[in-house]
Structure 1
């Protein structure tokens, strides 16, 4: 089975400014203690971890590089690709509500980054489910006018938007999808169903169902781990089946989120698990969700 890993990270912690991986104290993190990933993870490390599976293309996600220098990470990643052959594309850091937006967009539109940076990520401001209100519109959120003005610029540069936010904020993303239909939104990590009690899963499913009606929205089935719980096929089966039913295989992509998800399992278990979770699909559908959809969305060669 050919695989495109549509979302993983490479980082050189010793030499590059990933402050969250280098500095003490560590930041709060959804998987809890993340000391185990505060080390280099480079193409050779990925290759050693994935030997049992046929990964043919890589899409690297920005790794919280120093936010004062978003272009620096993209240039480092492109040099890594030139040297090692991977990644084949990148989702780069951007800050939609910052004064340097135009300069960053122009850098991504110039060689050597043009055609390599396919999408950008700026995690919008969010709140806890307990504090969330349906009229949420804080500065830095998806309803913030300044933030939306920056988002509107992405279409001019043919850049997709990588959305990482908890599922209770997805109605804000529906507004983005409808107001800016030429910009593709790629939901990261299945909309973050971080707990699996029946009420949460049912409400998450309704939120994902609403946004799935927007045909310019795609979803990465990735980052499925739950803090303190084992990564198992049975635990993730309802999530995966729901997303495939709602979005279809032409808008779903499997991805590893490695090495972050090394905190909950190993790379072999992730890809082996996805293969088990997709057994109900026919061969064409399986090829789509493992490979072809990501090739088409990210325009990979």
Structure 2
């Protein structure tokens, strides 16, 4: 079974995504205008199945209400029983009513984890104050509580935050963590990649952290197989294939390439002996695809 471990879906009539529908706003990943439309399971499956993918993980994507989004994704799963899909939901791990929120999410059979973004890009984080989450003691307790419930945590951040975040994750060793987008190496110069690689060691040293080979086009819109080679190879070297998984980050990464080009490129960079893990086994184990 080949799994896409990181993608999004959205139905603009069912769920409100304020960031997506903001007009004239250029984001850190580029101009969202081409994806300001419905992106449904039928379109995703067409591309994914053509590439040999047969299951996927839906990642929350900035809905106005996380529970509404999760409920809609569950309805998509229920309507498509021939497509194995798990989901990672948005939940504020520092919320006062966290226990009740986690209970509500855990009642949905597709829910496997939560995501609360720690960092997107330096300029956006400076404006939004997203990084302040790391200084909130309630966040650590929330990570621990999620792990107690058997829920994983999808971690999105930038390299500058890796050392500090690793110290926080060490306080929640029973919570399994998936690093999104290889840790968002936003500076693609030789110096920037060297800094990212060194910072990444703080996370790869944590045995409860796995890494997603996803979203590599967000900071390099003209990426090529050779330009992302150092990133893929460093992740495989530090985490090992048994702790790496492929994710398309579609439809966001559709701004930079088609699905076939993306998966062919990543496949060419992953040694043949590691492909079974990277394109299926790691994600299957991490997100519980073997569960009934």
Same fold by TM (over 0.5)? yes
Q: Which secondary structure does the structure 2 equivalent of 1:153 belong to?
A: helix
Aligned residue for 1:179, secondary structure, equals coil
The answer to whether the 8 A contact 1:13-1:21 is kept is no
1:95 is matched with 92
1:177 correspondence with 2:208: no
Task: State the SS of the aligned residue for 2:188.
Answer: coil
**1:9 and 1:60 in contact (8 A); partners too:** yes
- Structure 1 gap ranges (5+): none
Rounded to whole Å, the distance in 2 between the matches of 1:65 and 1:12 is 11
The residue number in structure 2 matching 1:82 is 78
Contact 2:54/2:84, CA 8 A, preserved across alignment: no
**Residues 1:82 and 1:163: Cα distance change in structure 2 (over 3 Å):** same
Given the two structures, how large is their TM-score scaled by the length of structure 1? 0.88
Residue of structure 1 equivalent to 2:153: 161
d(CA) in 1 for partners of 2:53, 2:160: 33
**Contact 1:60–1:87 (CA<8 Å) still a contact in 2?**
no
Question: Given the superposition, is the C-alpha separation of residues 176 and 87 from structure 1 closer, same or farther in structure 2, using an over 3 Å criterion?
Answer: farther
Q: Deviations over 1:154-185 (max 9, x none)?
A: 12211111100101101122112211110011
Matched, 1:20 2:27: no
1:34-90 deviation per Cα after TM superposition (whole angstroms, max 9, x unaligned)? 111111111111122335311111100012111xx3111111101111102345100
| Structure 2 counterpart of 1:42 | 40
Selected match of 1:277 from 263, 269, 273? 269
Query: Following TM superposition, by how much is the alpha carbon of 1:270 offset from its aligned partner in structure 2, in angstroms?
Result: 0.8
The Cα offsets for residues 197-243 of structure 1, whole Å up to 9 and x where unpaired, read as: 01100010011122211110111010001546423110110100010
Where structure 2 has 5 or more consecutive residues not aligned to the other structure, the ranges are: none
User: How many equivalent pairs are there?
Assistant: 286
Q: Tell me the residue number matched to 2:215.
A: 223
Moved over 6 A (4+): none
Match of 1:128 among 122, 138, 148: 122
Confirm or deny that 1:186 pairs with 2:185: no
Are positions 1:214 and 2:206 aligned together? yes
Q: CA deviation at 1:138?
A: 8.7
Structure whose residues are more often helix by fraction: 2
Distance 1:220 1:123 in 2: 15
The CA deviation string for residues 1-60 of structure 1, in whole angstroms up to 9 with x for no partner, is x4200000010023321112223353x522221111111111111122335311111100
Q: Is the 8 A contact 2:8 2:250 kept in 1?
A: yes
- In the other structure, the counterpart of 2:66 is 70
SS at match of 1:243: helix
The CA distance in 2 between the partners of 1:228 and 1:188, in whole Å, is 16
> 1:252: how far off?
0.3
- Structure 1 equivalent of residue 113 of structure 2: 119
Quote how far apart the aligned CAs of 1:125 are: 5.9
SS in 1 for 2:163: helix
Q: SS at 1:253's partner residue?
A: strand
Give TM-score, length-normalised by structure 2.
0.91
Matched residue, 1:298: 287
Give distance in 2, aligned partners of 1:229 and 1:266.
12
